[in-house]
Structure 1
């Protein structure tokens, strides 16, 4: 028996091809505990393979059949061949970050095997500084970036002395089958669920959502027509980023002290996400300007917004809305670009604030139509936004796996036709990492973008008086 898959999740399977892998990934670096080395860490991870235990999320396989009328669903509790899903890799000399990024770019290029659960973990040794790396990729149909980070977080501890911890693919001791209950469901005097009342309330809610959907969509189109921030843009220029892509990937990543971005945000009365977007704005302006490829009109970024509430913390899959941000790359002054980014994001958030999650999803779906058409090889009258920029919140404290400190966490994401570059950020206890994932065929090496991001952070600090 197959469990149904949501239309949002199944879209990532339908839109996937050899040139369009649809998985997200993460690269974590660990410092071995005192008295141990990378070889000892590998031994601990290898020991986890002998047990054969796999979490319920990673024991699901995507499948469709005649009985499902060709629709994708999830087959649960399948046998998992850990020898297939867990791979060992070693870096060539000199074993530096450059060699690590090149290896991970190649690993991120390959498709996941659809006859098996859609994930892989690569244990990477050979780093010259003695650290050990773990690269994990998981299909976007199975988990979005927030879910993938929570999966990794669940295998780590804030206690440096904690031992006997599960590997990232193993179930937690507390893992139990989830119960999907109706929140605040009414009961009768005997304590039984009053299903008639629950059904009526659900029907009233659905009717209210439907009544509010048309005004939400009309308002979205009107805001885009007037050039205001929101889930739709009608003004993204054509650029070197908006081209068909191939399956090979480029990857570059670097981390900065989170406190630097926090201070800029505080001095400018903005958010850390605004600072991230402003850094990307200035970096892309310089990067594309050096290639004589900067459009006259400002670039527009698609910014995913997680819609997960407290009740959804244990839920996998995808719950994402989007905003379109004017990156103001036509402006030469960093302070003016920063201000334009803040205004655009504030307008977009204001447009979403009075809407329900369902209405936001509908508004966001309208904004992603041009990109979705590109995923399926179709064109459209509206150009998609130029670049995807995500900021996925990470752990707020230092994390350890059996005494080994996670010293870095770099995210990898999904370029698509019409968006050859994806920029994803995630924070650890004291750093924020930028992961740049691009199409190898369409884009030059991405390492220069890292230097431009660094320069732009310095310019923003100067602009607010730091």
Structure 2
């Protein structure tokens, strides 16, 4: 029996804090046709899903949160309830697929059952079909979601771009901290051990914590992209050549993530203009999750992330200036201790009795958040093209959630030779979600044209 970490349980608390949100994440895989027989396809997916413990477990919670929620195996669980079969209305274009994706993702998962669903979608244009995997965020972060999706394919999880990330190379995955239980006599001893283990890195983390707190508490510049959300969602996606992005990276001496975020910045700049708002330096403080997952933890189903809160430079008109400013600000965020502060906070709360952290997280998630405007998360995906029942996966599109006053979220996935941006938006606050996607593609094209 495994217990949720405080971070994992925090996604449940955040969902409970707002009846309008669903904190499920997911991915859409578009495959070449024809679609296999549904019964055979469902049997294949169910066999592979049954081999993943989280996909056959349910949550058990405790009265008054006296202990963390636990993952419990369910004898003879019928996973066929989690497989769905639908068809798109004609002509089966991206617009029909995106609308269905939004409809599926905006509904909450049933907590009395394993927290996932798999949707088989036929009727896509060009003879294609799709598979949508939806998983609650309390189970896994983006990297683990990609790993779980890969496990449902022919040959299972293969080589991933995730092995190139900083945490994977450093082996700095999230460590499990010892619990100290509910006995107050243990709290002081645990606090002393925590203090005795502190080094100069603690000073860095403290400075980063101040930056994070300041970013959350400082109101944004009257952005229409922040505020309460409705129940309904919109979804869209953008595709660019990974080779083009790599050329921009090499030419300007930046990272792939810098190029991707510069394109996102260009799109949000255009979005503010469409809304009649001036794009200023402090208009787009962005939540950028940072993986702290090491290579030896790639197959573990949990969340291992920290955060950075940079201002994306929507005030910069020149594409190269915008790219270099993104690069500089992310470097500052990386060196300022924000990443370390997030990791240190997670490690610290994991040794505090769960009732205290649960009640605190519940209170914080109910406070109005006015400082962070958007979410932008980069998820390394498979290096090589996948196959399901011998059909090639031609596209992979990530689906981020939105919550806590963020009306738009962008997830970026690298798959084979493509970089795909999946955008989730509040239905009423962002009717221009397709223009957001087009703006990202235009942002990359601007930089490629300068090479």
Structure 1 length-normalised TM:
0.79
Query: Pick from 293, 307, 326: which aligns with 2:292?
Result: 307
Classify 1:75/1:349 alpha carbon distance in 2 versus 1 (closer, same or farther; 3 Å): same
- Structure 2: how far apart are the matches of 1:109 and 1:7? 24
Partner of 1:386: 373
The alpha-carbon deviation at position 79 of structure 1 amounts to 3.7
SS at match of 2:296: helix
Alignment of 1:120-199 (within 5 A): 120-157=117-154
Structure 1 counterpart of 2:366:
377
- Paired positions, count: 406
CA contact (8 A) 1:394 1:426 kept: yes
What is the CA distance between 1:373 and its match in structure 2?
8.0
Q: Are 1:261 and 2:245 an aligned pair?
A: yes
Q: Which runs of 5+ in 2 are unaligned?
A: 158-174, 176-189, 351-360
The CA distance in 2 between the partners of 1:260 and 1:363, in whole Å, is: 42
- Say if 2:47 is the partner of 1:58: no
1:19 equivalent to 2:28? Answer no
Q: 1:252 aligns with which of 208, 225, 236?
A: 236
Higher relative contact order, chain-length normalized (CA < 8 Å, sep 6+):
2
Give the Cα–Cα distance (whole angstroms) in 2 for the partners of residues 329 and 364 of structure 1.
35
Displacement, 1:236? 3.9
CA distance in 1, matches of 2:65, 2:310: 39
The SS at the match of 1:448 is: helix
**What's the offset of the Cα at 1:374?**
9.3
RMSD between superposed Cα atoms in Å: 3.2
Shift in alpha-carbon separation, 1:214–1:148, aligned structure 2, 3 A: same
The one-character-per-residue Cα deviations of 1:384-439 (angstroms, maximum 9, x if unpaired) are: 32111011000111211232111001011111132110000101100011000011
Aligned-residue offset at 1:93: 1.1
Q: Is the 8 A contact 1:112 1:118 kept in 2?
A: yes
In the alignment, which residue of structure 1 is the partner of 2:441? Answer: 454
User: TM-score of the superposition, structure 2-length normalised?
Assistant: 0.81
* Conserved? CA contact 1:232–1:323, under 8 Å: no
Which of residues 74, 90, 95 is equivalent to 2:92? Answer: 95
- Aligned partner of 2:203 in structure 1 is 215
Q: Name the structure where helix makes up a greater proportion of residues.
A: 2
- 1:69-123 deviation line (CA, Å, top 9, x unaligned): 3642221244432232111111111111111111111001101001101100010
Q: Quick check: 1:46 aligned with 2:42?
A: yes
Q: Please point out which of 68, 73, 85 is paired with 2:70.
A: 73
- Work out whether residues 58 and 72 of structure 2, in 8 Å CA contact, stay in contact via their aligned partners in 1: yes
Instruction: Work out the CA distance in 1 between the residues paired with 2:55 and 2:405.
Output: 31
Task: Provide closer, same or farther for how the CA distance between residues 79 and 68 of structure 1 changes in structure 2, counting only shifts above 3 A.
Answer: farther
Q: Residue 187 of structure 1 aligns with which residue? A: none
Q: Secondary structure at the match of 2:127?
A: coil
Structure 1 residue corresponding to 2:431, chosen from 432, 444, 458: 444
Displacement after TM superposition at 1:277 (Å)? 0.6
Q: Give 1:457 deviation, angstroms.
A: 1.2
User: Aligned partners of 2:217, 2:246: CA distance in 1, in Å?
Assistant: 29
2:266 and 2:439 in contact (8 A); partners too: yes
2:301 is paired with a residue of what secondary structure?
A: coil
The C-alpha deviation readout for 1:178-200, integer Å capped at 9, x for no partner, is xxxxx9xxxxxxxxxxxxxxxxx
